[in-house]
Structure 1
Amino acid sequence: MAVLYVLMALFGALTLLNLLLTLGIIRRLRQRPATGSATYPGVLPSGSPVGDFAARDLRQQPLSRADLDGRTLVGFFSPGCDACSEQLPAFVAAARSAAFGPQRSWAVVTGDAESASQYLPSLEPVARVVLQNEDDSLLSAFSVQAFPSFFVVDATGRVVAGGVAVDDLPVAAAA
């Protein structure tokens, strides 16, 4: 019988310790500053203006800030980037949606056609694809410092939303 009392006391002590540790974690989480909407280092925050740029898509059609004629989905990819490959299907699905379509979906891939070849078969049917070097104007205009990066931009050239995953964007409500 004495063993049972010892085991119950030990169980009670462990339960109390678990409760105290859980409360400590909750207290720490509450002390963290609230950020409101998600922001990511290297991604323009909502409301930021996109800089001026001039580029050509793979069909040699010009692209500039003036071509942002409605909500436009813009994705930045880099060859060899595992996260970019993981986000590719979500970007393709969003670009294929009625909210955007091929004219209001832009995919910017760093490098040349050979290095970007893993993305081109998926992107070309659903978006205007632009190949850029790391120092070209589209990357600078969007201040891209991380890959992948995704944006929804309005007709005035302001970022509606940005993130490192397509799920970070309000793509379903972008009609």
Structure 2
Amino acid sequence: MPYLAAAVVLLGALTVLNLLLTVTIIRRLRDQPQHDHDRDEAAALPFSLLETGTPVPAVQAADLAGRPVDFTGGTTVVGFFSGSCQSCRAHVEPFLAYVRGRAVTDAVAVVSGDAAEGADLVAALREHVRVVAEPADGRLAAAFKVGVFPTFYLVGPDATVAAGHTSIRALPAPVAA
């Protein structure tokens, strides 16, 4: 019986110690300065985006309605999504919110990959923006040097890249033409 009592006391002491350590760690984490993860992420990207000021590559593409995609004459936001990318689904609503809340002339969502895998993305996007569906090695994604999904670009009225990033929240507000 004395062994059982000693084991209970020992386990109780370990539990209290664990609780104190956990509270200490949580307090220290709260005291850490907050980081802008979008900026940190951009500095550590293992691939290159088209640089600001780069002319948009000339590529012929059409949206699902058959209208040609043209990047001249206005401010365009372009989002690249992949049907096989699970995190892309979490970026659909922020992308649509960016489009709704900014002075953009046109918004294009490019859904790359297998049509069946990307059907939910196409359905979520096509009511709000122009959608281009293309294979995994599609022309638009290759022209914009998309190395990871999702990727977003803001194209200025002069058909040059105004900004590009893997987070829509990191794109600046477009300047009215």
TM-score by length of 2: 0.68
Structure 2 unpaired stretches of 5+: 1-38
Question: Which range moves more in the overlay, 75-84 or 90-99?
Answer: 90-99
In 2, distance between residues paired with 1:106 and 1:69?
14
Per-residue CA deviation, residues 23-75 of structure 1 (Å, 9 max, x unaligned), is xxxxxxxxxxxx9xx554232121222211001111111124xx432110000
- The letter of the residue matching 1:53 is V
The structure 1 residue matched to 2:78, chosen from 74, 81, 102, is 74
Corresponding residue for 1:49?
Answer: 55
1:104 aligns with 2:106: yes
Decide whether aligned partners of structure 1 residues 42 and 82 sit closer, same or farther in structure 2, where only a CA change above 3 A counts: farther
Q: Secondary structure at the match of 1:56?
A: coil
Mapping of 1:86-105 within 5 angstroms? 86-100=90-104, 104-105=106-107
- Percent identity over the alignment? 35
Per-residue CA deviation, residues 122-169 of structure 1 (Å, 9 max, x unaligned), is 211221100111322211221111111000001222110100000110
The structure 1 residue matched to 2:68, chosen from 62, 66, 79, is 62
Corresponding residue for 1:149?
Answer: 151
- The letter of the residue matching 2:152 is F
Q: Secondary structure at the match of 1:95?
A: helix
Aligned 8 A contact 1:77 1:84 in 2: yes
Structure 1 unpaired stretches of 5+: 1-34
In 2, distance between residues paired with 1:114 and 1:135?
16
Aligned 8 A contact 1:43 1:146 in 2: no
Aligned 8 A contact 1:72 1:104 in 2: yes
In 2, distance between residues paired with 1:88 and 1:54?
24
Aligned 8 A contact 2:74 2:106 in 1: yes
In 2, distance between residues paired with 1:161 and 1:115?
28
In 1, distance between residues paired with 2:155 and 2:58?
13
Per-residue CA deviation, residues 106-127 of structure 1 (Å, 9 max, x unaligned), is 0000024422111122211221
1:160 aligns with 2:162: yes
Structure 1 segments, 4+ long, off by >4 Å, are: none
Aligned 8 A contact 1:112 1:131 in 2: no
